[in-house]
Structure 1
């Protein structure tokens, strides 16, 4: 068996505390929105190079509001920039946490699956006559392949 990287448990109380903390985060960020894939694709993106551009544009707009249309709201632009800057460290922190949870979830799932494969292989090899045949057959369905005829008909549909 491969090296066991994770040997831990998450108590129901700790899991609930984490879920409560996530709910608190959502509660403290009531303005969060959910964009569609199309909306995400079509929005102009502000990256590191654009941050300096937007900062300069705000300064120009603040010092020279006369050339802007009356409908242009410099204060709203300032609030958007301030929120963007305030969310940036939150985004970095949550991204790091998401990567840690993803990696841990992947590793512990891999360890569990590898252990399950070992149990299956040992039971298959030495479990005959011990009443495990039906369990081994049931576990073996995970690896069953569909007949070629069924596969080719499914791809025609």
Structure 2
């Protein structure tokens, strides 16, 4: 709920509390008061959780970026290292990450 809606709800609760006579009997002012109180209690928690989620997202993105950078370094070192036996298959497997399909190949596949 935005600031304008919060002000509206607060004013409506004030009006309902001070002038309950115009409301139908089925309207429960106390229920509204409890809902408003619950919202007001939960809102700071929501703000904290939102901030925490943003921090976790940022940390996850940074960690992923650093891990990918390290993986690229390993791949490049492996490609330039000719004295380690058995790396060719692994280098080929890792290199598939960078393989792109040609546009001609894609259109030929979709035509058939």
What's the TM-score bracket when you normalise by the shorter of the two chains?
0.7 to 0.9
Q: Which residue of 1 aligns with 2:90?
A: 135
* TM-score normalised over the length of structure 2: 0.85
Deviates more, 1:113-122 or 1:70-79: 70-79
Distance 1:63 1:122, change over 3 A: same
1:110-156 deviations in Å (ceiling 9; x for gaps): 10100000111121122476321100000011111123245347889
Structure 1 spans left out of the alignment, 5+ residues:
1-45
SS at match of 2:100: coil
Match of 1:72 in 2: 27
Q: Which residue of 2 aligns with 1:98?
A: 53
Q: Cα 1:150–1:68, aligned 2, differ >3 Å: closer, same or farther?
A: farther
**Aligned Cα RMSD in Å?**
2.2
Instruction: Confirm or deny that 1:109 pairs with 2:64.
Output: yes
Asked if structure 2 preserves the Cα contact closer than 8 Å seen for 1:127 and 1:133, the reply is: no
Return 5+ residue gaps in structure 2 as ranges.
none
> Structure 1 residues 123 and 150, CA, compared in 2 at 3 Å: closer, same or farther?
same
More helix by share: 2
**154 and 93 in structure 1: CA distance in 2 versus 1, 3 angstrom threshold:** farther
Number of paired residues?
111
TM-score, length-scaled by structure 1: 0.63
Find the counterpart in structure 2 of residue 145 from structure 1. Answer: 100
1:75–1:152 distance in 2 versus 1, CA, 3 Å? farther
Higher relative contact order (CA 8 A, sep 6+): 1
Match of 2:8 in 1: 53
- SS of the aligned residue for 2:49 comes to helix
